Structure 1
Amino acid sequence: MSEPAGAAESALPSEFGLIGRHFRPLAGPGALDLEDDAAVLVPPPGRELVMAADAMVAGVHYLPDDPADGVARKLLRVNLSDLAAMGATPLGYLLTVSAPTDTPDAWFAAFARGLAADQAIFDVTLLGGDTTSTPGPVTLSLTIIGHVAPGAAVRRRGAKAGDEVWVTGTIGDGALGLAASLGKLDDPSGYLRARYCVPSPRLGLPLTGRASAAIDVSDGLLQDLGHLCRLAGCGAEIEAGLVPLSDAARAAGPAWLADCLGGGDDYELLLAVPEGRGEALAAACATLGVPLTRIGRFTEGPMAVRVIDAAHETVTVARHGWSHF
């Protein structure tokens, strides 16, 4: 994502003109004004870099007619969520945009506006990337870069039998928001669709030294909890009645419970917390405006997730999560 310095836009190849119009204003100091094919990044003194990458494809990860500014914000936020799960602070990002040649300039303008809005919220800037054409669909990839104190990154590996399972926010809004977008569920307030289109990465929570393991809920609560179980070599048990649901999700009714537990796109944090430490962590998160709820515990035995009701009877859930392939 580089552009010759000082060239008149009319004399530039269309790619460079597009970069100059829409992406150069997003660039930070390390991007070298997007004049080079690489950025120069100086990490904060005494910190370790944390990097993650996620892609979004039209028709797979978002609806093709979703507003471009919202698509941009979701792309940035789902990557920021990966940093949040590790307790990292955002620094900057690299972006790759592949779009059909007939994509209107107005789409790129709106896409850039969405990025600019969230750059201001999350204090990050564009460092560089690439723009290419494709027969379609629009394909987007973002690499997020953050930092943590040495050895402070919270990993997926680390849960132990006896640890409690805690989650931030509410679960199921993303999946129900997709259902609402597809006309399968009423969403009179627009709350569910908003949660699906523009998630809230839980950055800045004091997880280091308090959470044994963490993951963001992108592929579904049950599936992502299963990832923690496999890395820990243990199982987990969650109580369906303790899983926090928004008012809008509760209004959808119990028939949508399986979608809430297995639907994904929530981008809340799922944590393993040693017994007796969760309440203090929940209080600390509450001061930051983020609710934290205990929903179960990790158990000895098979590396599987069991859902139980108030009578401790097993609840069968057919859908456990999203598969990328």
Structure 2
Amino acid sequence: MGEFELIDRYFRRTAASPQVALGVGDDCALLQPTPGRQLAVSTDLLLEGRHFFPGADPRALGHKALAVNLSDLAACGARPLAFTLALALPAVDETWLAGLSQGLLALADASGCALVGGDTTRGPLAIGITVFGEVEPGKALLRSGARAGDDLYVSGSLGDARLALEALQGRIELPPGLLASARQRLDTPQPRLALGQALAGVATAAIDVSDGLLGDLGHVLKQSNVGATVDTLAALPLLDNLQAARAAGVDESLLLQCVLAGGDDYELAFTALPSHRDAVATAAKATNTRVTRIGSIDSQPGVRLLGAGGQPVHGRFASFDHFA
């Protein structure tokens, strides 16, 4: 199978969105954003052996490749428009391509995000996606808007993806049912698009949790020139499989590490004024998303972790860094 037949068979689609004037098949795609809206653009590259295991299920991989990009749009409060796909393949495997395209395009359809172009080449397996969204001027959620006194929130759950990774890399043992539950979060994250859009005008700052809560929160604190206090007793229950992991004998310090420094969660960490607590609750209810207040923003730089009785929690919670 040649390159263009591959594209035609698995990735060419008729653009249904009015924002896509021209999709796959030309030198450039043509997008027509809603008048008066700003474009939001983000890119991610996934490499076999670095971002996903060799032999990963192709359908789940297709889903995740797009989901990690859509999560960036969610953190900006943007509505998805379209995306491009760059795909390097060591060889043409039609069964694998069918699975990848099914997972990718199912999430694209569910998110209203059209595939409008890209490139294919021979090489080590890699998936690069650039996603385009739109947002009302002045309403984009940024990392630089947090202020002392703001509440700190996290959507959904944290730590289950890291728990699965610890088991898959042989550092801990988990019962099969627990591993399957945790691995679902690792393999098929759900970008919080609806919540991100509902928080526009409510949240003061936001970021998606891709490399670990404290590491990603640190980007917000740096951009906003503030610090934070995190209640670990509120944060730890964000691990959906907390009780099952405890019952399986997983060390408590590792569980806290999973929640505070585990990656691949693709939840939103965001800040909002205390006076907006009702608005945050309304946004959470309207989008059927669990939202938990886990701390507050301070004027003092750095992050302070508090445990039982407000006592400081000490430890090194290093988030993922490709070059560390």
Structure 2 length as normaliser, TM-score? Answer: 0.90
1:175-254 alignment runs, 5 A limit: 175-183=162-170, 184-186=172-174, 187-189=176-178, 190-205=180-195, 206-243=198-235, 244-253=237-246, 254=252
User: 1:143-192 CA deviation, whole Å, 9 max, x = no partner?
Assistant: 11111112211111110111111010111112112223334341514111
Unaligned runs of 5+ in 2: 247-251
Aligned residue for 1:36, secondary structure, equals: coil
**More moved, 240-249 vs 36-45:** 240-249
The code of the aligned residue for 1:314 comes to: P
1:27 CA drift (Å): 5.4
Q: In the alignment, what sits opposite 2:106?
A: 117
1:95 CA drift (Å): 0.8
The root-mean-square deviation of aligned C-alpha atoms, in Å, is: 1.8
1:1-325 alignment runs, 5 A limit: 14-25=2-13, 30=20, 32=22, 34-100=24-90, 102-134=91-123, 136=124, 138-183=125-170, 184-186=172-174, 187-189=176-178, 190-205=180-195, 206-243=198-235, 244-253=237-246, 254-255=252-253, 256-302=255-301, 304-325=302-323
Aligned residue for 2:191, secondary structure, equals: coil
**Structure 1 residues 130 and 26: CA distance shift in structure 2, 3 A:** farther
Cα distance in structure 2, aligned partners of 1:238 and 1:26: 47
The code of the aligned residue for 1:92 comes to: A
1:103 CA drift (Å): 4.2
1:285 CA drift (Å): 1.0
CA contact (8 A) 1:169 1:268 kept: yes
The code of the aligned residue for 2:113 comes to: V
User: 1:188-236 CA deviation, whole Å, 9 max, x = no partner?
Assistant: 1411100110101111221122111000000100001111111111211
**More moved, 223-232 vs 277-286:** 277-286
User: 1:229-253 CA deviation, whole Å, 9 max, x = no partner?
Assistant: 1111121110101014244133223
Cα distance in structure 2, aligned partners of 1:15 and 1:28: 24
CA contact (8 A) 2:84 2:118 kept: yes
The code of the aligned residue for 2:162 comes to: A
The code of the aligned residue for 1:188 comes to: G
Cα distance in structure 2, aligned partners of 1:265 and 1:191: 15
User: 1:271-314 CA deviation, whole Å, 9 max, x = no partner?
Assistant: 01112312431233123210111000111222x11211022222
Q: Percent sequence identity over matched residues?
A: 40
